[in-house]
Amino acid sequence: MEYAGRYAPSPTGRQHLGNARTALLAWLDARAQRGRFVLRIEDLDPGRARRLYETTVLEDLRWLGIDWDEGPDRGGPHGPYRQSERHDRYAEVLARLPTYPCSCTRKELRLTASAPHGIEPVYPATCRDRPPSPARPLALRWRTPAGEAVAHDRFLGRLHQDVAREIGDVVLQRGDGAYAYQLAVVVDDAAMGITDVVRGADLWSSTPRQVWLQRALGLPTPRYTHVPLVLGPDGDKLSKRHGAPEMVGLRRAGVDGARVVALLARSANLCGPAVRRVRPRELVDDFDWARLTEPGATHVLDLDGLRA
Ligand code: GLU
């Protein structure tokens, strides 16, 4: 099957260098495979998504030299490419799954949910068999079937989870009507023919839920690559504390995008330590995921190198 990859940012803020590295790696994999690359805007949350941030994402990517074949600005055969314009598709799929309304408040969930198995509290199925309180906004939960969801990740290996037991019945639509990320991403990856999902390692824990939904819906499971997160100069996960500039700030300060690409590529061992400027297309021919696990890949951003 022809390779199709995607970058799927949520336009809820300005992009930082970690986002840029994920985008670069997803793009490189797609281009190295002579594949299609989709830009999908995940503006599901009406309270947080802003069109201004979407515009900024597109400008950031262009400045870096990352292009896309399908996206909100240029259309394509699998559009629309904004999740806010795909609600009818999510509604249709949601109607095919066994769900029930849930009126639990956040506070109730905090009090009743337990977290014995993992990082997220398990929903105790409070509303599964009781009539929900009509006075409250209702979320929709999937009667999540028992069994083990298994996915394979290029870096993390076998990911597995008994979603029903370790997460509980998954929310597919929130009380305010917003569709859940887990549902939208599964619907869209399938509808857009995505064969390869490359995204940040912080999202790995969503993958078994997505695989479980794909199975329930009879949809194919893409290949997954959760890329290591970038680190600050002290080796900790990159954060504001490190003073890492946002992309838009670098752009407006007149920094050459090729310098930023070189910084990102050096951290991933995709170019030599002496390379100061490089365009993404110059990295395509030698791109190889194996380089990210060699000792040269520090995943540390040389922020001083950027300023110098
Ligand atoms: N929209 C998600 C984010 O920006 C990424 C979703 C994905 O790649 O599956 O964190």
How many angstroms separate the alpha carbon of residue 133 from the centre of ligand 1? 33
Percentage of the residues of the chain whose pLDDT score is greater than 70: 97
The mean of the pLDDT values for the chain is 94
Smallest Cα–Cα separation from 230: which of 6, 25, 12? 25
Smallest Cα–Cα separation from 23: which of 47, 72, 73, 58? 58
What pLDDT band is residue 308 in, cutting at 50, 70 and 90? low
Q: What is the pLDDT of residue 117?
A: 47
CB atoms under 10 Å from CB of 157, counted, come to 9
Segment 105-124 shows an average pLDDT of: 71
How many angstroms separate the alpha carbon of residue 52 from the centre of ligand 1? 18
How many angstroms separate the alpha carbon of residue 9 from the centre of ligand 1? 5
Q: What is the pLDDT of residue 306?
A: 78
| Higher per-residue pLDDT: 132 or 86 | 86
Please check the confidence at residue 191 and state whether its pLDDT lies above 70.
yes
Least confident window among 101-105, 131-135, 301-305: 131-135
End-to-end CA distance of the chain: 45
What pLDDT band is residue 199 in, cutting at 50, 70 and 90? very high
Q: What is the pLDDT of residue 135?
A: 80
Tens of pLDDT, residues 250-264: 999 999 999 999 999
Smallest Cα–Cα separation from 3: which of 201, 251, 231, 192? 192
Distance CA 149, CA 161 (A): 5
The residues, any chain, with a CB within 8 Å of residue 197's CB and separated by 6 or more, are 5, 6, 189, 222, 223, 224, 225
Q: Which of 185, 188, 206 to mutate to test ligand 1, by most ligand atoms within 8 A of the CB atom?
A: 185
Domains of the chain by start residue, with CATH: 4-75+228-306 (3.40.50.620), 88-227 (3.40.50.620)
Distance CA 177, CA 168 (A): 20
Q: What is the pTM of this model?
A: 0.95
Tens of pLDDT, residues 30-44: 999 999 999 999 999
Ligand 1 nearest-atom number relative to CA 206 = 9
Q: Which of 38, 181, 210 to mutate to test ligand 1, by most ligand atoms within 8 A of the CB atom?
A: 181
107 is catalytic: no
Distance CA 190, CA 297 (A): 32
Segment 271-289 shows an average pLDDT of: 97
Least confident window among 51-65, 94-108, 128-142: 128-142
- Catalytic pick among 34, 106, 158, 240: 240
Q: What is the pLDDT of residue 115?
A: 53
Least confident window among 14-28, 122-136, 221-235: 122-136
Backbone angles phi, psi at 142, to 5 degrees: -85, 130
Percentage of the residues of the chain whose pLDDT score is greater than 90: 83
Segment 125-130 shows an average pLDDT of: 89
